[in-house]
């Protein structure tokens, strides 16, 4: 054990030296923390043209935290998958919310099926600033908070959605978990486990800010986007919510917390 440990440590340092000399200096550490009372399976999707991180999906037990290094100029998103299980016959791994379609623990380039709360990052963007936000544009599945640490400049503050919107989600937006019946295949009827965006629920361009509504002066907040905005004023509630929902920091690390407050588990 001890031998294997020091071997992996020396491997770690030699790969660190290698990557430093190759110029891909790590620029930020993301620490994912699960304060939910249930297991969360984080998913990570790198944007096109930026490298994948060391993991794209894993299990995070209640109370656990997991640090991940990201290289300079990384951009992508993180979310939490809930109610995941592996099929005992096919071995296929699926989640009731936030599923990334890979059929496995690692998402490997798959994004979250909506509805899912998303934390979005662009490191070292315009003026060297990191841009970050928590988005409910693709709906909501669990409370998330992004806490920048050690950063300067910009409006470098916490952002997220800390309340449990499953409980207050309008019925037409609710995703109900299947009730497992002995006959199998029960659909709906269970508790609300996620809350759709109006765009996903109705597909209407005026909610999606698509088609003739694809400009900020035409696509306005709706009663549905205002439901999200009132509950979570710092999170994106619809596509053109940038002014109150984008935050910036310089040289920060980020803690990404699932279920940050005890009242929102």
Is-contact 200 115, C-beta < 8 A?
yes
Instruction: Pick the binder of ligand NAG from 247, 249, 255, 258 (CB under 6 A).
Output: 247
Instruction: Pick the binder of ligand NAG from 109, 189, 191, 211 (CB under 6 A).
Output: 191
Instruction: Pick the binder of ligand NAG from 3, 49, 91, 243 (CB under 6 A).
Output: 243
Measure the CA–CA gap between 248 and 39, rounded to whole angstroms: 30
Q: Between 19 and 246, whose beta carbon lies closer to ligand NAG?
A: 246
Reduced to 3 states (helix: H, G, I; strand: E, B; else coil), residue 106 is: coil
Q: Specify the stretch interacting with ligand NAG by CB under 6 A; choose among 27-35, 191-199, 224-232, 253-261.
A: 191-199
Kindly state whether residue 179 participates in binding ligand NAG, applying the rule CB under 6 A: no
Kindly state whether residue 166 participates in binding ligand NAG, applying the rule CB under 6 A: yes
Reduced to 3 states (helix: H, G, I; strand: E, B; else coil), residue 13 is: helix
CA 76 vs CA 1, 4, 173: distances in Å: 35, 33, 26
Is-contact 237 136, C-beta < 8 A?
yes
Reduced to 3 states (helix: H, G, I; strand: E, B; else coil), residue 97 is: strand
Taking the complex as a whole, the smallest distance from the CB of residue 205 to ligand NAG amounts, in Å, to: 25
Q: Specify the stretch interacting with ligand NAG by CB under 6 A; choose among 66-74, 181-189, 216-224, 244-252.
A: 244-252
66, two tokens: 């997991």
Please choose, from the candidates 130, 128, 108, 19, the residue with its C-alpha nearest in 3D space to the C-alpha of residue 57: 108
Q: Specify the stretch interacting with ligand NAG by CB under 6 A; choose among 69-77, 99-107, 163-171, 253-261.
A: 163-171
Reduced to 3 states (helix: H, G, I; strand: E, B; else coil), residue 228 is: helix
Kindly state whether residue 244 participates in binding ligand NAG, applying the rule CB under 6 A: yes
Q: Between 103 and 125, whose beta carbon lies closer to ligand NAG?
A: 125
Kindly state whether residue 139 participates in binding ligand NAG, applying the rule CB under 6 A: no
Kindly state whether residue 164 participates in binding ligand NAG, applying the rule CB under 6 A: yes
148, two tokens: 């920048």
Instruction: Pick the binder of ligand NAG from 123, 146, 193, 232 (CB under 6 A).
Output: 193
Residue with tokens 């690390």, as numbered in its chain: 253
Plot region of 31 (φ>0 → left; ψ -120 to 50 → alpha; else → beta):
beta
State the residues that interact with ligand NAG by CB under 6 A.
38, 82-83, 97, 141-142, 154-155, 164, 166-167, 191-193, 243-244, 246-248
């Amino acid at each position: 054990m001890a031998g294997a440990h020091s071997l992996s440590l020396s491997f770690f340092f030699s790969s660190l030296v290698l990557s430093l000399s190759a110029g891909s200096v790590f620029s930020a550490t993301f620490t994912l923390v699960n304060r939910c009372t249930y297991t969360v399976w984080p998913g990570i999707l790198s944007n096109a043209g930026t490298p994948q991180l060391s993991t794209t999906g894993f299990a995070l037990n209640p109370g656990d935290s997991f640090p991940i290094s990201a290289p300079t100029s990384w951009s992508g998103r993180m979310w939490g998958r809930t109610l995941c299980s592996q099929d005992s016959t096919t071995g296929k791994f699926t989640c009731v919310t936030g599923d990334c379609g890979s059929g496995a623990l690692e998402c490997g380039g798959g994004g979250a099926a909506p509805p899912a709360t998303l934390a979005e990052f662009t490191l070292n963007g315009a003026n060297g600033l990191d841009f970050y936000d928590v988005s409910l544009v693709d709906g909501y599945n669990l409370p998330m908070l992004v806490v920048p640490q050690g950063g300067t400049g910009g409006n470098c503050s916490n952002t997220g959605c800390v309340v449990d919107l499953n409980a207050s989600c309008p019925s037409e937006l609710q995703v109900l978990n299947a009730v497992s019946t002995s006959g199998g295949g029960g659909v709906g009827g269970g508790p609300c486990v996620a809350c759709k965006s109006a765009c996903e629920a109705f597909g209407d361009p005026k909610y999606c800010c698509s088609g003739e509504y694809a400009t900020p002066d035409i696509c306005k907040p709706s009663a549905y986007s205002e439901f999200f905005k009132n509950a979570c004023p710092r999170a994106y509630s619809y596509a053109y919510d940038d002014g109150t929902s984008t935050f910036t920091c310089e040289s920060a690390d980020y803690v990404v917390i699932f279920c940050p407050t005890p009242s929102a588990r």
